[in-house]
Amino acid sequence: MKQKDKKKQRPRQAERLKNVQMPDLDALDDVREKAEYKTRRTAEKQHQKNKRTTLLIPGRILEVKSNYCYLVEAGDKLYEATLSGRLKQFSYSSKALSAVGDRVELDISGDPHFRIENILPRANTLSRYAEGNFQKEIILAANIDQVIITASWRQPLIKPGLIDRYICIAALQNTFPVIVVNKIDLCEDRGELQETIGYYRDSGYVALCTSVVSGEGMEELREVLKGKDSVFSGQSGTGKSSLINWLEPGLELRTAEVSDYNDKGKHTTTQAILLPWSFGGHLLDTPGIKTVNLHREAKAEIPRVFPGFADLAPNCRFRDCTHTHEDDCAVLEALEADKIPIGRYESYLRIMESL
Ligand SMILES: Nc1nc2c(ncn2[C@@H]2O[C@H](COP(=O)(O)OP(=O)(O)OP(=O)(O)O)[C@@H](O)[C@H]2O)c(=O)[nH]1
Ligand SMILES: [Mg+2]
Ligand SMILES: [Zn+2]
């Protein structure tokens, strides 16, 4: 083939590939429904041809209602939308193509048929890992700004070890942790409280003390939530629902309503939904987050993301220091100098051992 002809062919190929936005290269090997695929491609091409104009507006997936039916928020409106044929094709092979929280481009030209034309890259994903040997990743939501780590001072008793664990999980999922110590009305000794949360504040975390009984700290909490997308996580009974209902009495927690079964009676992963706060931002409502666990591969990251360790770890002699037996370890030195409470260090060891 002449050099000239080769050149001619290249742009054509490039153009064909441009229509194939692959989120997952493995999917290329997995063209299961070939005939269906072709039909859909033809229909899609036809649609493209017939389409005079598209009118794309930026939106956000709040809810996955059923197969390819999405609730999309755009501006101050809600739209029920389907995926474009092109996107549908890829969600067959890659289930995780679309998630609650995804930022999308919505075509509103075909009113009342709204279509998601593009899914934009994610800032982060909140995942859970299935039990068992393979620890399959289950994506709960995308683009969530912060995790409100909810503990209660008493009933149930505050467990800093659990707060540590949640902070590590938040860090590994690229989302921002905020500590809320609720039921502060049950606290008689503020000195003890300060001792417990001081370490986190000194390490740079935001830690609020709240009570739905006295109202203490509640407006501060609202300020933290305003304009951001948050998920509340924490032990059962710490008051997550109570906090949410105090802030937004109309915002019924729909967790219980979300069915564990799809219409064929088959058990499915319970879906998360995003609920808009009246004061701006969203609440991610997901029952799954309560049992959020660490992936085994996270073990290598814990020495850097454990609360208070991020600034110390770079000063250790070894880059992969586990802060246990190594020489010239900045964390062990800080422990020696009482800059890290022994309780926190023991909690670190417990997390490491659990992985
Ligand atoms: N004293 C006191 N009790 C509270 C406070 N907040 C919540 N409670 C009580 O704590 C109990 C549990 O509150 P929930 O809001 O149901 O806790 P939750 O975190 O949503 O629990 P799960 O849904 O099981 O995860 C309820 O009896 C609340 O009335 C508080 O600030 N002070
Ligand atoms: Mg609840
Ligand atoms: Zn170290």
How far apart are the CA of 231 and the centre of ligand 2, in A? 12
The pLDDT assigned to 149 comes to 96
Ligand 1 atom 6 nearest Cα? 239
Which of 231, 241, 251 maximizes ligand 1 atoms within 8 Å of its Cβ, making it the mutation to test the pocket? 241
Cβ–Cβ under 8 Å, residues 23 and 71: no
Q: Is the pLDDT confidence value at 333 over 60?
A: yes
Residues 6+ apart with CB under 8 A from 62: 71, 72, 73, 78, 100, 273, 274, 275, 276, 282
Q: Residue 186 CA: which ligand 1 atom is closest?
A: 1
Confidence (pTM): 0.81
| Per-residue pLDDT, 17 | 39
Give the pLDDT confidence of 214-234 residue by residue, as tens digits: 999 999 999 999 999 999 999
Q: Is the pLDDT of residue 303 over 90?
A: yes
Q: For the chain, give every residue range classified as CATH 1.10.40.50.
A: 296-354
Structure tokens at 280: 């701006």
Specify the amino acid at residue 256: A
Q: Which residues line ligand 1 (CB under 6 A)?
A: 182-183, 185-186, 211-213, 236-242
Domain with CATH 3.40.50.300 in the chain: 125-291
| Tens digits of residue pLDDT in 197-216 | 999 999 999 999 999 999 99
In the prediction, which pLDDT does 327 show?
Answer: 97
Most confident of 5-14, 16-25, 88-97: 88-97
If one compares 296 and 260, the residue with the highest pLDDT of the two is: 296
Residues 6+ apart with CB under 8 A from 188: none
Q: Read off the pLDDT of each residue in 351-355 and give the average, rounded to a whole number.
A: 91
Q: Which ligand is nearest to the CA of 329?
A: 3
What confidence score (pLDDT) does residue 313 get? 97
Instruction: Report the C-alpha dihedral over residues 85, 88, 92, 97, rounded to 10 degrees.
Output: 150
Q: What is the pLDDT of residues 119-151, one digit of tens each?
A: 999 999 988 877 776 777 778 899 999 999 999
What pLDDT, in 10s, does the model give residues 38-47?
666 666 666 6
Nearest CA to 295 out of 179, 167, 161, 131 is that of 131
CATH code linked to domain 296-354: 1.10.40.50
Q: How far is the CA of 331 from the centre of ligand 3 (A)?
A: 5
Residue nearest to atom 27 of ligand 1 (CA): 237
Please give the average per-residue pLDDT across 187-193, as a whole number: 96
Longest Cα separation, the chain: 87
Name the CATH superfamily for 49-121: Nucleic acid-binding proteins (2.40.50.140)
Residue spans in the chain of domains classed CATH 2.40.50.140? 49-121
125-291: what CATH class?
Answer: alpha beta
Does 163 score more than 60 pLDDT?
A: yes
Beta bridge partners of 128: 138
Closest CA relative to residue 231, chosen from 250, 261, 255, 205: 255
CA dist 227 and 129 (Å) reads: 29
The alpha carbon torsion through 324, 327, 328, 334 (nearest 10 deg) reads 30
Residue 10 has pLDDT above 50, yes or no: no
Among 21-25, 123-127, 206-210, 266-270, which stretch is predicted with the lowest mean pLDDT? 21-25
3-class DSSP assignment, residue 85: helix
| Bridging pattern class, strands 146-152 and 229-233 | parallel
Contact 61, 70 (CB under 8 A): yes
**What mean pLDDT is reported for the chain?**
83
Looking at ligand 1, which residue's alpha carbon is closest to its atom 3?
Answer: 183
